[in-house]
Amino acid sequence: MIVVVSAHPYPDRSIANRALTAAISELELVERRPLYDLYPDLSIDVEAERRALAGADVVVWQHPLYWYSAPALLKLWFEKVLARGWAYGGGRALAGKACLWVTTTGGELDAYADDGPHGEPFEAFAPPLRQTARFCGMRWLEPLIVHGAHHLSAAALAERGAEYRARLVSLGAREASADE
Amino acid sequence: MSERGLLEDALVYLGAAVVCVPIFARLRLGSVLGYLAAGCAIGPFGLRLVSDVESILHFSEFGVVLMLFLIGLELEPRRLWQLRGPVFGGGALQMAASGAALAGCGLAVGLTWRGALVAGLAVALSSTAIAVQTMRERGLLAQPVGRAAFGVLLFQDLAAIPLVGVVPLLAEGGAKSDGSGWLGLAKVVGAIAGVVVLGRYATRPLLRAIAKTGLREVSTAFALLLVIGIASLMERVGVSMGLGAFLAGVLLAGSEYRHALETDIEPFKGLLMGLFFIAVGMSIDFGLVARQPLVVLALVAGFTAVKLASLWLVARRVGLDDGPSPQGAMFAALLSQGGEFAFVVFGVAAEARLLIGDWDKRLTLTVALSMALTPLLVIAVSRWQRRRAPAPRAPDEIDADDAPVIIAGFGRFGQIVGRLLFASGLRATVLDVDPDSIDVLSRFGFKVFYGDATRLDLLESAGASRAKVLVDAIDDVTASLALVDLAQHHFPHLTIVARARNVTHWLELRRRGVVVVERETFDSALSAGRRALEALGVGAHEAFERAAKFRRHNVELLEELRGTDLDQRERTQRARAAREQLERQFEADRGELDRHAGDDWRGA
């Protein structure tokens, strides 16, 4: 089972995230946790989230990049759900699961450079999320990053959506065979 | 009515209508033709069940008056202003074109020039009753072709006023002018001003006072009194009754009692319109048809052809025939008949010896038959349009008055819902039964309609079939549940957002399958609880989290109760167990926060 934890406060206004979500919405092996739909008032049902994660082989974090990090509700989700005694520090609930980071950025890839407006190459912003996953004992997979969400053509977006879908399908197949 | 009495006559009319109309509707020929057929069947040339056709016709014309009042109710002055193009442009053009062509035909068949002029102008008028009823049934009124046709009909109503006045002046042997031309005009202006004042200033307080009595039949009686009163006033000064009623309707269109008036008048209008069509059917003189079949055939065919052609030219001129789906033919078909007004003019003209011999009878027959022809022509045109343009039909223009939300009950609860919606730029149709609060709210600029939302007809006229969301904020539990039952049965597409007075009400609503139910005091009480926790030293965010957790827990408990059929004692036990469980959870949360204060991210 793949659990997609997604966070976009205005899903009907997003372009890239909506395209990505649409591409995987029919997959049967996916359980979606659209956080802003589930908890519009930002009060997360921790028990329900943990129940969903318990059955997952793969955990996906899908979100637009806000201030070089996750949107507030996904950040809150890390704090509430991945708590001590459950995810670490005595708890190993997520250990051994695979973690896929899927994010979209408004800027182009070349804006992420030492002399670009963002001052660092894109890889510099990955460590906080990567280490969050690893600290909980999860395997960090090669992330799927969609740059330039504002400028991508519909065709290019569809292509990235198809790529996302293919990644999930192959992950699902691999995990299923590993279970046997 | 004859010696047989009112009830027996009613028996005949209703019986004929109930037999004929469903058959014609089933055959997709429209109700108008059904009524006309019913009239033919019971009339002097059919089963001879009714003889006094003329007085019935006159009486039932009041149905047309009521119809125009209802149309007026749907047209606020602002929207009427938008119609000025079709009315004065299209209307004047149509009267000139059709009148000239038909008068020319009159001359050609041997009428005097005076007779030809009067007859030509009279038959240039179309039948508002037939055209509007047909447009209603086909949903054409809100479309460009419907608006253009309605504009022309309005102009004809205006033009009819001088026409009747002109007939005696044209009479041979010189005009017997009574020298009251200016006086007459002054009377008309005075009467219209009176109606404006009455409609704008006097009617609302009266409607309000009557609404407060809570007696339905009184409000119905008042609605009828209003229309009949205005219509008679207008007739006194020589304006058409329909035009006066229409004006009154327009003046009340913005009022909060609009839907209630509509609901009250609608059944009378329906019955009287039916009676009117029956009367037209009865007046078709089959004796004349039998005696002069070829003459009648030639007249009907000639008249319809000339009128269709002139209307089609008008349609082209006003741009209706352009674009991907030309509507010129439909426009012409809708207005192709002669109107009820022609009957009056022929009578007057025959008296004034402007029409001699058989001509008034022949023309009356022609007009009646042309009315019967209209539904058939419209069906033919729409078939032809469909065959010519198999492409998907353009989406119907959505009536600007259709709000996506209906709020039933606009007290303290409904108002907050409404204000949030209004602030978000959404229109809502609001229904309430308290005349006082409606008054206050109207002053703040809300559009609130008076009426009991648990009445199906009122829901219908509030646009329930086109709305998306129904907010059930009625404070009376019985009425609130009745509204849910009604909405679920008749408008299953509506998403219901319901206010629950208490837990029992909440359970009743959920058991009916209403998904969105909010208890009226729950969230504000939770906020108060939060603030109390804060006052006792609990951190503001922690207090928020506890309230959120409490809320979730509480809703889960209620959902559990919903499926069961527990008595009061068992319910209390269940609630106590749940409370203890929540207590333990809070305890655990507190412990966790304390324990990790030193070494957890949160305590850092």
pLDDT tier for residue B264 given thresholds of 50, 70 and 90: confident
**Is B601 close to A41, i.e. CB distance below 8 A?**
no
Chain B 520-559, residues with CB within 8 Å of chain A CB atoms: 544-545, 548-549, 552
Please check whether residues B351 and B418 belong to one and the same domain: no
- Identity (one letter) of the amino acid at B151? G
Nearest to B602 among A43, A79, A85 (CB): A79
Mean per-residue pLDDT for B163-176? 62
B278, B42 contact by CB (below 8 A): yes
**Is A43 close to B552, i.e. CB distance below 8 A?**
yes
Q: Where are the beta strands (DSSP E) in B359-409?
A: 405-408
A41 has a chain B CB within 8 A of its CB: yes
> So what's the pLDDT on residue B327?
82
Tell which wins on pLDDT, B244 or B481: B481
* Residue B134 included in any domain: yes
Segments forming the whole domain that contains residue B164: 6-173+181-388
**A43 token code pair:** 């009060």
> So what's the pLDDT on residue B180?
52
Chain A 107-166, residues with CB within 8 Å of chain B CB atoms: none
Count how many domains chain A has: 1
B216 has a chain A CB within 8 A of its CB: no
**Is B601 close to A43, i.e. CB distance below 8 A?**
no
Last residue of a domain, one of B354, B388, B422: B388
Segments forming the whole domain that contains residue A99: 2-179
* Residue B604 included in any domain: no
B54, B256 contact by CB (below 8 A): no
Mean per-residue pLDDT for A122-134? 95
> So what's the pLDDT on residue A67?
94
Please check whether residues B269 and B298 belong to one and the same domain: yes
* Residue B491 included in any domain: yes
Count how many domains chain B has: 2
Chain A 65-94, residues with CB within 8 Å of chain B CB atoms: 79, 83-85, 89
List helix spans (H) across B171-321: 181-197, 203-213, 216-236, 241-252, 258-283, 286-291, 293-317
* Residue B559 included in any domain: yes
* Residue B1 included in any domain: no
Which residues are CB-neighbours of B4 under 8 A, at least 6 positions away? none
- Model pLDDT for residues B22-48, shown as the tens digit of each residue: 888 888 777 888 888 888 888 888 788
* Residue B427 included in any domain: yes
**B373 token code pair:** 């022809």
Q: What CATH number is attached to the domain comprising A121?
A: 3.40.50.360
Over 50: is that where the pLDDT of B203 sits?
yes
Length of chain A: 180
> So what's the pLDDT on residue B192?
81
**Is B596 close to A43, i.e. CB distance below 8 A?**
no
Q: What CATH number is attached to the domain comprising B490?
A: 3.40.50.720
Q: What CATH number is attached to the domain comprising B70?
A: 1.20.1530.20
Please check whether residues B375 and B423 belong to one and the same domain: no
Nearest Cα to B470, choosing from B442, B424, B458, B478? B458
- Model pLDDT for residues A21-66, shown as the tens digit of each residue: 999 988 999 999 999 999 988 999 999 999 999 999 999 999 999 9
Please check whether residues B168 and B315 belong to one and the same domain: yes
Q: Is the pTM of this model over 0.90?
A: no
